[in-house]
């Protein structure tokens, strides 16, 4: 008997010693990333309307923001002795050990501290083993000794899973009741507390699920009465708080994925954030996007997209505030889940005649004026290659207003020969076009002023915003501010840099007003008759069509193109920027000025207002001498070298999008209505129903 007692005491002593050693040598691990990670939340420009919350659906809050009734409900449901126990329950832990050893499923016995330890700290795990359970107990005891009970409860309530993809009580409050956690009623708090044990029974409480959920909820309310948190009368008066219908939506559908991706890209590439910081720090990211304008732009595209148009044709549009550089709205494609690469920020298309205003700006800065004249006859020969205007219409000597109004290719190539393509390229850089998108071969080509480089709609919007702000360029940006989980806020702006003088910008604007008033862009006239300036753009074989336009308060670019660089071929429509792109622009801008309450505002006065007359040719000539005879068609077939294919983009938004090799344009290709398809090309056909005119020097068609 004495021997047995001695052995028993020895065993107990050994167990105590072993326990002490285990306690001493079991460190408290570091928090595991997924327990504290919070996905970013993206907002529209008002800072209130949510675009999407991505990543882990958790929004950690301080304990004092959680109603006391909710805290009490959780304690009553999970661990009524929480504030008195040492972090573990001897009875519950014994049951858990026995369950692990025997394999029998017994009632759980983990305290709130133990559950928090499992969820919050790394290296604990959740597998059924004696070793894991012992480690959990040791860490729970140490945490209970080193941390306050309120701290433990706060971490628990921010890490526990409640169902409906909600981690933490704040996310759960939104998921179940569409409200902030601070606004939860006692009944709703009890429901969330009841959900912790078996979240799947509470996610969609209908039928049998509702009966089980209500039974568990009533048990929690009963515990609250028993523990003194509620009176019997209060409990009896409570009604079952049926949660709202579960929202099953893809957070990145439609335009949302484009908005989220371009905001993330800007934060990593321009604002110094790492992807990990964005994805795990619970940042609140307010974008520059006005939801009303985003909706209006989407509607404008839908309203003006012809039935049966190939889905391979992409539409991209961007609207910029010239005074700030903020991107107010954009259209990135039919939907992020269908085509992940944004047609506004990620795709590019040959610029065509939409590039001519950059050449105009370079000429004005170099001392030319709106009255400066150039030979607009057609055809002309440059570097041994024939260049034609749209419909091969031949003009005489034309000033820069007329050359712009009617998008006369030959006049603009002569402008480039006079001013120099390098000065045009430098002006493009000042207006936001990277030098890497204009290679040496393109810069050396006679047709460089005609837009043989490829640009993104956001870049073109930035160019035209420069004219709208009278020569000051701001790089377009999409993130207005970032607030971290400590409520520290960073606000972003873009400093303006002068690209050309204010007066030269006004002069260029005057020429582009003529484009809309009576040139190739008449479809862009707004219903209220306010001042509008802009430029159409069309490329070789109709592979890309643009309208880029602005009022003093807003610049918007619209492009239509194919990613595979093939002709658009839109049944019933010619491939001209003055048609569908201008119509989309007009529909959107007519709504936008009302949404933003923009009063009609006049552009600044030009330094001169040269007449828009055209000198007619009178006899044969050689280019650069007197005018050649007016012709109605090419004297010889123009060369037609195909534009090299643009590389197929990746399916997702890359970290750095490389510019296309060569930016489009063969060495001697035809230029469509802009002459922009080849380095020395030019001349495509006009159309009788062109919604204005062909975009490379032709007169309005009879039905335009």
> Which pLDDT does position 236 carry in this prediction?
96
Residue 55 scores a pLDDT above 70:
yes
Least confident range of 34-48, 362-376, 452-466, 585-599: 34-48
**Average pLDDT value for residue range 287-303:** 98
Tokens coding 504: 């030269």
* Better pLDDT: 55 or 52: 52
- pLDDT tens across 69-109, in order? 999 999 999 999 999 998 887 766 665 555 555 554 444 56
- pLDDT tens across 348-393, in order? 999 999 999 999 999 999 999 999 999 999 999 998 999 999 888 9
Active-site choice (69, 89, 343, 353): 353
> Which pLDDT does position 220 carry in this prediction?
97
Q: Is the peptide bond before 173 cis (omega within 30 degrees of 0)?
A: no
Active-site choice (45, 78, 136, 266): 78
Active site residue 429: no
What domains can you pick out in the chain, each with its CATH number? 61-237 (1.10.3810.10)
Residue 383: count other Cβ atoms within 10 Å of its Cβ: 13
**Average pLDDT value for residue range 681-696:** 35
> Which pLDDT does position 119 carry in this prediction?
84
Burial class (CB in 10 A: 0-12, 13-18, 19+), 462: buried
Residue 597: count other Cβ atoms within 10 Å of its Cβ: 6
Residue 180 Rama label (left phi>0; alpha psi -120 to 50; beta): beta
pLDDT above 90: percentage of residues in the chain? 62
Least confident range of 201-215, 230-244, 518-532: 201-215
- pLDDT tens across 592-630, in order? 999 999 999 999 999 999 865 444 343 333 333 333 332
Q: Which SS3 state, helix, strand or coil, does residue 487 take?
A: coil
Residue 455 scores a pLDDT above 60:
yes
Active site residue 353: yes
> Which pLDDT does position 138 carry in this prediction?
81
> Which pLDDT does position 685 carry in this prediction?
35
* C-alpha–C-alpha distance, residues 264 and 416, integer Å: 39
Tokens coding 475: 């790089």
């Amino acid at each position: 008997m004495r021997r047995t007692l001695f052995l028993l005491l020895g065993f107990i002593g050994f167990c105590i010693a072993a326990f002490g050693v285990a306690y001493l040598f079991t460190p408290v691990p570091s928090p595991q990333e997924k327990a504290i990670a919070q996905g970013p939340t993206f907002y529209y420009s008002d800072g209130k309307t949510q675009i999407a919350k991505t990543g882990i659906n958790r929004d950690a809050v301080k304990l004092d923001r959680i109603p006391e009734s909710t805290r009490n409900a959780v304690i009553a449901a999970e661990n009524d002795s929480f504030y008195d126990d040492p972090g573990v329950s001897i009875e519950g832990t014994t049951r858990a050990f026995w369950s692990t050893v025997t394999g029998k499923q017994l009632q759980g016995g983990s305290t709130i501290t133990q559950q928090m330890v499992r969820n919050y700290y790394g290296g604990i795990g959740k597998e059924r083993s004696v070793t894991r359970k012992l480690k959990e107990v040791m860490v729970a005891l140490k945490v209970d000794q080193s941390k306050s009970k309120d701290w433990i409860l706060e971490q628990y309530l921010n890490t526990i899973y409640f169902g409906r993809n909600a981690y933490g009580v704040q996310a759960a409050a939104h998921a179940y009741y569409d409200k902030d956690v601070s606004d939860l009623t006692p009944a709703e708090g009890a429901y969330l507390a009841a959900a912790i044990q078996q979240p799947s029974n509470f996610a969609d409480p209908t039928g049998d699920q509702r009966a089980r959920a209500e039974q568990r909820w009533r048990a929690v309310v009963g515990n609250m009465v028993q523990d003194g948190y509620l009176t019997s009368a209060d409990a009896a008066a409570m009604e079952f708080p049926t949660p709202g219908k579960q929202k099953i939506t893809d957070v990145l559908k439609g335009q949302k994925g484009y908005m989220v991706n371009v905001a993330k890209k800007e934060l990593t590439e321009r604002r110094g954030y790492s992807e990990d910081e964005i994805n795990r720090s619970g940042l609140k990211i307010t974008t520059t996007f006005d939801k009303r304008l985003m909706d209006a732009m989407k509607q404008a595209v839908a309203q003006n997209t012809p039935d049966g148009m190939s889905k391979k044709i992409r539409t991209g549009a961007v609207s910029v505030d010239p005074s700030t550089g903020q991107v107010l709205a954009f259209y990135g494609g039919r939907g992020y889940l269908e085509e992940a690469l944004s047609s506004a920020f990620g795709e590019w298309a040959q610029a065509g005649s939409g590039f001519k205003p950059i050449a105009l700006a370079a000429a004005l800065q170099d001392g030319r004026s709106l009255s400066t004249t150039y030979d607009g006859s057609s055809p002309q020969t440059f570097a041994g290659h024939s260049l034609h205007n749209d419909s091969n219409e031949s003009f005489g000597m034309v000033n820069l207003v007329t050359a712009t109004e009617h998008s006369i290719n030959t006049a603009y190539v002569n402008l480039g020969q006079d001013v120099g393509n390098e000065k045009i390229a430098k002006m493009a850089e000042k207006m936001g076009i990277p030098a890497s998108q204009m290679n040496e071969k393109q810069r050396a080509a006679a047709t460089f002023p005609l837009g043989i480089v490829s640009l993104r709609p956001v870049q073109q919007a930035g160019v035209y915003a420069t004219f709208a702000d009278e020569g000051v360029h701001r790089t377009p940006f999409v993130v207005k501010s970032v607030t971290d989980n400590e409520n520290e806020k960073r606000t972003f702006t873009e400093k303006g840099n002068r690209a050309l003088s204010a007066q030269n910008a006004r002069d260029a604007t005057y020429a582009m007003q003529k484009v809309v008033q009576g040139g190739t862009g008449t479809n862009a006239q707004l219903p209220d008759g306010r001042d509008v300036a802009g430029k159409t753009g069309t490329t070789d074989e109709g592979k890309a069509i643009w309208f880029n336009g602005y009022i003093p308060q807003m610049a918007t670019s619209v492009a239509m193109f194919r990613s595979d660089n093939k002709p658009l071929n839109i049944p019933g429509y010619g491939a001209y920027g003055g048609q569908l792109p201008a119509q989309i622009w007009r529909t959107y801008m007519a709504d936008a000025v009302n949404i933003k309450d923009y009063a009609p505002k006049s552009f600044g006065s030009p330094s001169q207002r040269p007449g828009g007359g055209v000198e007619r040719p009178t006899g044969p000539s050689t280019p650069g001498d007197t005018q050649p005879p007016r012709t109605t068609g090419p004297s010889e077939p123009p060369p037609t070298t195909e534009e090299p294919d643009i590389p197929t983009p990746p399916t997702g938004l890359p970290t750095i999008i490389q510019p296309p090799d060569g930016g489009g344009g063969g060495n001697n290709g035809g230029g469509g209505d802009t002459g922009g398809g080849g380095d020395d090309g030019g001349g495509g056909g006009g159309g009788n129903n062109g919604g204005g005119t062909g975009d490379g020097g032709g007169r309005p068609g009879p039905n335009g």
